[in-house]
Amino acid sequence: MPPGVPLHLAMQYPDSVEFLYALGNEIKTAKFGLDRIRTLLRALGDPQSRFRAVHVAGTNGKGSTCAMIASGLLAAGFRTGLYTSPHLIEPTERIRIDGADLSRAAFVEVFREVHETAEAMVARGELDMHPTYFETVTAMGFLAFARARVEWAVVEVGLGGRLDATNVLAPALCAVTPIDYDHEAFLGNSIEAIAAEKAGILKTGVPALFSAQRPEALTVLEAKAREMGAAFHFSEQWAISHLETNLDGARFTLQRPRSLDIKDRLRIECPLRGAWQVENARVAAAALDLLELDAPAIEEGIRAVRWPGRLERVAIRPDIFIDGAHNPAGCAALAEYIRASKGAHRTWLVFGAMRDKAISEMAALLFPLADELVLTAPAQSRALRPEVLAMEAEQLANPPSRIHIAHGFVEVMAVLRGAQPEDRVFIAGSLYLAGEAKAWFTAQEARRAS
C-alpha cells in the first residue's frame, strides 16, 4: 500500500490476504486460549451472539458434516453461514453465506474492521498481541455472519476444541465426528487425551450429538456431557437400512429413534464419494432432525451438498480425484475407496505431505496400492522433500511398481501425461497439495471456457 494513504482507502483483497499470511502458519503460530478472541469480539459488539449456531468438532469428516448441515438449513429456507478451515485456494472459502464464498469486497471489509480494532487494542494495552491468523479469520467470519443477518451458522472447530478460537460460541447444538490421531503435539498422544480436547466444546445444557466413535473416545465424551448436564445423542440411534453405495456416493434410509412409523423415515442420497461419507451424512441428518427440520429439507439439503477437495473428480480420461486425506484415518478411508474402484484400471497416486504428519503410517496405507507413485512436495516450508518420501516407499514390504519424483505441480502434471485414459489418478497427502491441484484444474477449466 502506498505510504501515507489511509488503510481504509488503500486496502485491497491481496493486501488483506498478504497480512493474514504474514501472521504465520495457523497451526505453528497457534496461541491456545480464549481470552484474546473474547476480548476482541467484545470490542466488535459480540457478533457471535447474533445468530444461532451448530458447533462441530472431530478429527475426520467434520468439514463434510458441516457442509451437509449447512445445506440442510439452507434447504429449509434459513439464511445460513458456514465457517470451515483450512481453505483450498482462497481464504474467502472459509466464510460462506447461503452456499457462496464471501465476496472479496466483503472479506476486505470485515478484515479491515477486525484488524484496525485489534491494532488499536494492542496500542492501548487491551490485547497482548495482534490476534493470530485463525483468531483473526474467526472474528471475521462471525462479523460477516452478523452483518449478513444469517439465522444459523454452522461452525467447524479449527484444532482440538476446548481452546479453539471458535469455542466462544453459545451454540444450539454441539456435534462430534469420529475422533482419531492427528496433531498429537498439540492435542495429546492418546485417543482419550484428544477426545478430552474435542469434548471441550460441550456446553452446559446444550444438546450434543456423537458420531460412531472408538470406545475410549466415547467414554470421554459421555463423561463430559454428563458433567455439563448436556443431553447427548448417538448417531447410531438413527438406524440405517436399504444402504446402496457406489463409487459416486450412497443412498440409504434412516429411521428416527424410538419409532417404527414409516413417516419417521428419512431417505438420504449423499453425493459425496467414499463409504465414510455414509456416517457423516447420518450425523448431519441426525443434527438437522434434532434441530426439528422437516424431512424434505433434510433430504434435499444432503442431496444438494457440494464439498470440494474431498474425493472430488476434477478430470476424466483419465479420471483424476483430489482428496484432502492428511492423517492415517483419512488415508485408510481413501485406501478403501481406491481398492473398491481398482478393477482393471492402473492406479496413479500423487502424494505430498507435511513433515509433522505420520508419514510411515500414511505411506504404508496408500503406497502399495499405486502402480505408479508420484512423490512431490506442496509449496510450503513444512513440506517433506519427495526424496525422503521415496525412501519410505522403498522400505515398504510391498513397494509400488514405479516411483517418480516431481518438484512442484508443473512437474506432477508432466509425469501424469504418461497416464492412459482408462487409468485412475488420486492426489492426496495434504490439504495444501489438494489446494494446489484444485487451483491448477480450476485454471485449466477457465482457459477452456474463455
Quote the pLDDT of residue 5: 39
Quote the pLDDT of residue 4: 42
Q: For residue 267, count other CB atoms closer than 10 A to its CB.
A: 14
Quote the pLDDT of residue 124: 97
Quote the pLDDT of residue 445: 86
Phi, psi of 252 (to 5 degrees): -165, 170
Quote the pLDDT of residue 264: 83
Residues 126-167: tens digit of each pLDDT:
999 999 999 999 999 999 999 999 999 999 999 889 999 999
**What is the full DSSP assignment across 18-55?**
HHHHHT--TTTT----SHHHHHHHHHTT-GGGSSEEEE
β strands within 76-231, DSSP E: 80-83, 95-97, 100-101, 152-156, 173-176, 208-210
Quote the pLDDT of residue 224: 98
Domains delineated in the chain: 7-303 (3.40.1190.10), 312-449 (3.90.190.20)
Quote the pLDDT of residue 356: 86
Q: Which amino acid would we find at residue 59?
A: T
Quote the pLDDT of residue 266: 96
Written as nine digits, the cell of 179 is 475422533
Cβ atoms of 274 and 333 closer than 8 Å: yes
Quote the pLDDT of residue 259: 73
Please tell me the pTM assigned to this model.
0.92
* Parts of the chain with a pLDDT under 50: 1-6, 9
Quote the pLDDT of residue 29: 52
